[in-house]
Chain A
Amino acid sequence: MEEIYKELQKIVGAEYVSNHAEERFMYSRDMGTMLPSMPDLVVMPDSPEEVQKVVQLANREGIPIVPMGGGLVLSGLTRPLKGGIVLDMKRMNRILEVNEVSRYVLVEAGTSQGMLQAYLKRHHPRLKHSCPDAPPIATIGGNVLIHGSGHLSHAAGFHSDMCNGLEVVLPTGEIARIGSCSTSPYWFSRAPLPDLAGLFMGWDGTTGVVTKLAMKLYPDRPFNDARVFITADPDLVPDVINRLAGAQVGEDLNSAINYRPGRTNVFPIVIITYGAETKEELTWKRNLIRESVRKYIDERTGGFVPFPPDRRKAFLQAPNTMLTQFADARRGGGFEYVGSIMPIEIFGDAYRAGVQISNRFDIVNGMGARVIGLAHCMMFFFGYPFNRADESDVERAREALEASNEAALKLGGIPWKAEAPAQQQIIKHMDPNTFELMNRIRSVLDPKGIMNPGNWEVN
């Protein structure tokens, strides 16, 4: 590995390669409950060409490569399960182009969500991107490639749906462009070509290293508001969501429930945010939202919660810092999180499954859902805080996580950004021909199996 170390130093510069114990420790784990797995080297490239040279070297030598953005996935996807090189992509953080008319931005994959948000506010104040509720240091690349979602997902779908195209270094070292950019100087769309973006999205870094992405941008309206609907019955939530989404005015639509074992009468809330060009339009949209769920207001089975302006501001905050603060709920520094992509109609069952798991493990549960694409599905999440200093507490969160994955699959959902054990759970439920196709595709793209090995493999 010493020779490899020297070659990597020549590629990216000596200061951006490390085999020190400190970096190996840090890049062997993330904030979730998965056990650490040590890299041999950590490398920080600065260009697609540097990534290409690193990948070519790894391919020649058969060394595993694990691409990493913000490393905030919580499910340990950037742990190098079979050692090798962790590629920290965050030096590649340039914003390369904003097209105001066709509303897209081209960024390097390591660009942070926060940096893009700040850049747009300053230079293109009438445009915004969909910001996830991950901390702002989370990268655009990492989030898109795990099918992330965010503050415009109700209006426009998963972040992967908002991606117009990619530049990717293939596991054999070629640089390929996916989408309109493969044929045109513009990064306007993935259509009408065969959509090869699917070869890289949702694969958790097992098919290549994405170096650039074009993302759709959306109008940043001057007037914004949030409304919160509450009902005592979780089984009403799917219809509430369906009706609110049907109004087609919301940008973001979330439900939230905090459950503590032993507590009763936990009411789910549904939060809808929306923007407008004028105050009048805002009022008009507010009325549309109200009318969409009038049935429940008239029946007195639900209603909107009045709340002061400072609370409203918190609902509109992107990203929402409250979610990060959940990590200190047990004065412990960690939370584990199962986000499962599910149909809306099983909201009530998912909620009850979460309550049952919380009671079984005596653990606080942050549950909720982000509605994707006008309620075509939801990312339902079960989150369990743990105390990092107490191994038994970490283990309990890990067990709750596994139980949640099982529950989600049983209900008909699919765990999102699944950790390696959850991938095994998914594969068990998956159509075998689908898994076989995945393997065939991967063996073509990555004949030496160097890309994030240990993921999406049968043990």
Chain B
Amino acid sequence: MPPIVDPKKCNGCEGREESFCEEACPGDLMYVGADGKSHCHANRDCWDCMSCVKMCPRNAIETRIPYQLGYHKATLKPIMGKNSITWKCTDIHGQTVTYKYRNRLDIED
């Protein structure tokens, strides 16, 4: 499934040896191109685990359902907190639902 990178938001994690999405992708699919922006080697090889979307510090990546499977266009965006995650989902009719839950317990020392 295609991860779509917004080139206006993406800066290839300037200053880092490796961009966050490159680091996160379990399929070694993301890379920073000569234009300084992140790209995906092969959209067809994406597992849509959304690890890159969660890691991106500039909210520059979006996971999109291929049109052959789902209609244009719905969005799902995670906002990562310290101990929680908030998901905002908008369907093709413009209906939005927000989900928020704790994804980390306070850790014992």
A binds B: no
Chain B residues in the interface with A (C-beta under 8 A): none
Task: Give the B-binding residues of A (Cβ under 8 A).
Answer: none
